[in-house]
A and B are shown apart, each in its own frame.
Chain A
Amino acid sequence: MGKPTRVTNCIRALRFAAGEMTQADLADKVGVTRQTIIAIEQGRYSPTLEMAFQIARVFRVPLDDVFDYPKEG
């Protein structure tokens, strides 16, 4: 089993900024299961580029404002 993703995100903060949107609401808007949103928030799953764009579009922010990929070392 590979290591969980190094991609970090601030979906949780963005959800609260967007009127305390629930994980289920975000899942409905993106068309995925709530468990997938939870896995992404907890860094257990790195979404595809397409899903990442869909999430960013829900919050109406650029991709960089949602996801980050920290430098090594």
Chain B
Amino acid sequence: MPFEEKMTWVSVVVTVLVPVWYFLTVLGRLQSTTAAEIAWQRPMITAIVATVVLSIIGAIVMAIGTSVSAEIRGRKPADDIDRKDERDKTIGRRGDLIGYYVASAGMVGVLVLTMLEYEYFWIASALYLSFVVATVVSSVVKLVAYHRGF
């Protein structure tokens, strides 16, 4: 598995798990309070920071695992980790482009919520969800391209 594909898997796992925690946390609070009074800021900041930190940790773990695996197979670790070739770049661009379209569609939804003067909680959550869905879709497109070809 190319190192870039491993990194895409890290992105998928982190980008799914952290938002699930966030939405379970804040939507759970809706049962006892209104959207206007809900304290969503701290969980969202926590989720964003956790995404960054977990992605870095995932990258480090993947790099160590790849290095160990390369040593066992008698290859130079740098050959597997540093080598991002044209196929990786093409797949990356393809996934990012699709992700951009998804994020753009999500922004339109956020714009509509803003025009309708929804609570900040709903607008911020929709914005966050747009980024999350865009990132997941982008990663899935990349993984499919790695396996099925294009």
Please indicate whether A and B come from the same complex rather than being unrelated chains. Answer: yes
State the A residues within 8 Å of B (CB): 1-2, 4-5, 24, 28, 31-33, 35-36, 39, 42-45, 47-48, 51
Task: Tell me if B's interface is mostly helix, strand, loop or mixed.
Answer: helix
Bound Cα distance A43, B149 (Å): 8
Least Cβ distance of B141 to chain A in Å?
7
Q: Are A28 and B86 in contact (CB under 8 A)?
A: no
CA distance A43 to B75 in the complex (A): 26
Q: Does B145 contact A (CB under 8 A)?
A: yes
CB–CB B88/A24 < 8 A: no
B87 within 8 A of A: yes
- Please classify the interface of chain A as helix (H, G, I), strand (E, B), loop, or mixed, using the class held by over half of its residues: loop
In the complex, given contacts A1-B148, A47-B87, what are 11 additional A-B residue pairs having Cβ atoms less than 8 angstroms apart? Answer: A1-B144, A1-B150, A24-B75, A31-B85, A32-B87, A33-B83, A33-B85, A36-B88, A43-B149, A44-B149, A45-B87
Q: How far is the CA of A35 from the CA of B85 in the complex (A)?
A: 10
B144 A51 Cβ-Cβ under 8 A: no
Q: Are A31 and B83 in contact (CB under 8 A)?
A: yes
Q: Known contacts being A1-B141, A24-B75, is A32 close to B149, with CB within 8 Å?
A: no
Q: Are B148 and A44 in contact (CB under 8 A)?
A: yes
CA gap between A31 and B141 in the complex, in Å:
25
| Given the contacts A1-B141, A24-B75, A48 and B150 also touching, CB distance less than 8 Å | no
- Considering the complex, give the chain A residue whose CB is closest to the CB of B149: A44
